[in-house]
Each structure stands twice: as structure tokens, then as C-alpha cells.
Structure 1
């Protein structure tokens, strides 16, 4: 998400004026409707406070926004192929779905062709596109920090089954079973390098990762199984500490992170990490020597 206030003001002005030269420069996510649009979308313009601006469609998808049906941000300025259009529509019909080979065959689509066309058109493969949509849906509860039932209703899942599926695929347990397990809490952190997800208990930080990282779902699943825990939206002191330290780090006022960490690894891995933690900031050669000593 673009956080610079001057740039947001510039983009909002371009949105209001429907300036075509900004096509491909930004996408706007509208929090009141849950959709993201092109700068020239013909729909009624949202209020400034309801707008979030993104440089790529993938960022908007990960932030839980779905493509606008009026301006079709994934089909402009150049018309996309029938394959791309069909797959985008299929994802919207079932955004929680994990795509496999037989799903492409059922649509009479070659999987490698879909991968190539999506990569050329959107800068990401179809699987990455579908995953971003699915991740955005499940991470919506983390991003908002709202109660699970409120997120379920806001997502439009009247029967709750769709939301439960999406949530459990990322966090490992359906909402109604969260009380049966050890609880870890997860929060969405906006940083200068992009949004991150932090997972922690009341004492230590277990995971800090970019939300668009490939394999994040598997990483969260491994953490959940190893700790025999459920993961729910929420804040803890370690998460708040890490958020403060990241802000200070990017402001140039912090060089040493002190948030307590829960490191999960073998004795050998623990030893390597401990050696690395002793290296002063910016000491590249020291880090190489430390790694050499442990190999």
C-alpha cells in the first residue's frame, strides 16, 4: 500500500479526474465496497478516506480487494485473451479454491499456457494470482483486526462455510474450533518494503514475513502444526514491539532489534542463529566468517 500522503493526494486527484495517463501507475482499493479499480473507472468516485492506493494488482489482491466489475482492472488497457478472462472469472466464482492440474483440464485449458499468459499480462503466474486472491481473503481478518464473525459477514459469507474454508486454509483451524487449541495471534504490519504478517504469543515473536512471499501458507501451516496451535487475528506485546522497532529501523533511529524471539530449529540451527545475532549491524565480512565457522 502506498503510504506517502503527497502521492496519495496526487493519485486521488487523478482518480477524480479519470486521467488515463495514470493507467498502469496505480490501482485504488475502495474500503467501502471491497473492490479495486483503475484510475479511469466510470463508477461513482469514493471519498478520499475510503481509498487505498497500490502499485500492482497483486498488492490490491493481497489486501483483500476484488476486481471491479465495471472497469475490470485486470483487463485493461490491452484486452486480455479468452483464457485469462475465463480464469479470472473462475477465481471470482470460487476465490478459496486451490488450483490443480485437473482443474485446468476441466476447463480445456493448458496449464503452461495459462502460466505464460498471466505472467506476461500481470507479472505473475495464474497460480500466484489465485493464491493472492485466496490469501487476501483469509488475511482480511488479520488486516482489520475485527472479530471473526464480523469479518465473516463483511466478506459476504452468509452460511459461513466459505469464510471458514478460506480462514482454515491459511490459519489451520476453523474459527469455531479456535478455543480447542493453543492460541497464537497474527497481525498485519505495513512497512516501507511492503505489508508483513507477524505471529506471536504473549511473550515471543514466532514469525515475521512478507504477505506476498511464496510459500507463506506452508510456512504458517508448519508453524501451526509444530506448535499445535491455532492462529487468530489479534495483537500481543511482541507484535506491538516489532511494529515499533520496524518503524524506527526504517526511520534510521534503530540498529538493534530487542523484541523477544521464539526460534524453532535444531541445535545446529540455533547455534548458527546465535552466531549471526552477535554480528554488529553492517558487518558483512563478519557474517561470512560466522557462517564459515558453522559449516
Structure 2
């Protein structure tokens, strides 16, 4: 289990990559149609992140401490009938640079293309997330209204939970109607850090 392996002390990407390859290296279907995605470990000031991508699109970007990350990855690779292996791609190179610029305060925007793998409703929510400017927050109610589904507040919250690309699909910018921070898969302390960071560096 990835969680157990992390607890065992993988503090750098090398051991994690080996364990990940053992866990996910075989495609669920050996047919020629099976795809191969590249995976890499990206160190950030908030802890390491796992990135999965093909050559042009990012498929996943998660903090490695996320609960049930292994199950999350397994469902995703089965959905695409894909092999996930340590490697590199143009999409991974781009997100590494963009994350470095983001955490350095140089740029709060991301141009990385994200592979669509959600329902129509989820994709609508995720597209709206990318429209929330850095330094600004929205409530779940506001998000529901902006996609034309004002009664779907709970569904919007669930779509946020299903977000597989942390930071670049900025679900951390969505808060409770009363202004309180609500659930964030990366931990509420990270959510607060990201919001504070963006307020400091967002363009006025």
C-alpha cells in the first residue's frame, strides 16, 4: 500500500517511484490499445506531489499524503486501461516549471492542459474552478449559480472532492457560505497556505 510505504520513510522520489512501479506498472488489459502514462514525484514547499501525464495533457496532480491516493490512481488507470510508470513527458516538464513559478510567487496562472475524465457536470464545475482568479474565493453556492445549477450545491461540493489536479484546478479557492474553510483533500492547513500565498502574489 502506498500509504504504508510513505509511513515507512520514503522521503524522496526514488523509493516512491520504485514502489509505485511495482504497484501500478502492469496495465489492467494487455491489449495493444492500452496507454502508458508517465508519473513523477515533484517536491514543493507544501510537501511532495504525484504527477501523472501523457505527452500533452496532465491527468493527475495530488499531494502524496492524500487519503486513499492509491485507490484514486487505480480507478483512474483502469478507466483509461493504462499503464502508469515512472518517466517524463512534455506535460510533466511544463507542470514542474509552472509549479516552481507558482511557489516562487512569479506566476499564479497555469497553462497546463488537463485531460477530461469526469462527467459532464464535473467537467463544468472544474472549468468554472479555473475561472476563479487567484486571490479570490467563491462559495459552493456561488459556484453552483455560475454553472447554471443553483440547487446543485452538494453536487458541486462532490465534484470538488473528485478533483484530481490540485492547485491548477483550484478547489482550494472554494469556501463555505459563511467564509469558513471546508474540506480539502490536501489538508486545511494547505488550503489556508495556498489562499494566503495567492493573496500576497496575485496581481491587483
| TM-score, normalised relative to structure 2 | 0.61
- Structure 2 CA distance, aligned partners of 1:198 and 1:204? 11
Tell me, yes or no, if the aligned pair for 2:34 and 2:83 is still in contact at 8 Å: yes
1:178-229 residue CA offsets vs partner (Å, 9 max, x unmatched): 9883110001101111011100001100000111211111111011100100
1:219-261 residue CA offsets vs partner (Å, 9 max, x unmatched): 1101110010001111111111111111111111111100111
1:167 deviates by: 3.5
- Please, which runs of 5 or more residues in structure 2 have no aligned partner? 153-204
**1:196-215 maps to which residues of 2 (within 5 A)?**
196-215=49-68
**1:143-162 maps to which residues of 2 (within 5 A)?**
143=17
1:67-99 residue CA offsets vs partner (Å, 9 max, x unmatched): xxxxxxxxxxxxxxxxxxxxxxxxxxxxxxx6x
1:291 deviates by: 3.1
Aligned positions, number: 145
Which residue of the partner structure matches residue 186 of structure 2? Answer: none
1:187 to 40, 50, 69: 40
CA distance 1:209–1:190, shift in 2 (3 Å)? same
Which residue of the partner structure matches residue 140 of structure 1? Answer: 14
Q: Higher Cα Rg: structure 1 or 2? A: 1
Which residue of the partner structure matches residue 201 of structure 2? Answer: none
**1:65-76 maps to which residues of 2 (within 5 A)?**
none
- Structure 1 CA distance, aligned partners of 2:117 and 2:134? 23
Aligned residues: CA RMSD: 3.1
Which residue of the partner structure matches residue 59 of structure 1? Answer: none
CA distance 1:287–1:245, shift in 2 (3 Å)? farther
3-state secondary structure, aligned to 1:197 = strand
Which residue of the partner structure matches residue 136 of structure 2? Answer: 283
1:237 to 90, 99, 104: 90
CA distance 1:132–1:285, shift in 2 (3 Å)? closer
- Please, which runs of 5 or more residues in structure 1 have no aligned partner? 1-97, 99-126, 144-150, 152-162
Which residue of the partner structure matches residue 246 of structure 1? Answer: 99
| TM-score, normalised relative to structure 1 | 0.43
**Greater relative contact order, per chain length (Cα 8 Å cut-off, separation 6+):** 2
3-state secondary structure, aligned to 2:48 = strand
1:286 deviates by: 7.0
1:39-86 residue CA offsets vs partner (Å, 9 max, x unmatched): xxxxxxxxxxxxxxxxxxxxxxxxxxxxxxxxxxxxxxxxxxxxxxxx
**1:100-111 maps to which residues of 2 (within 5 A)?**
none
- Structure 1 CA distance, aligned partners of 2:8 and 2:95? 26
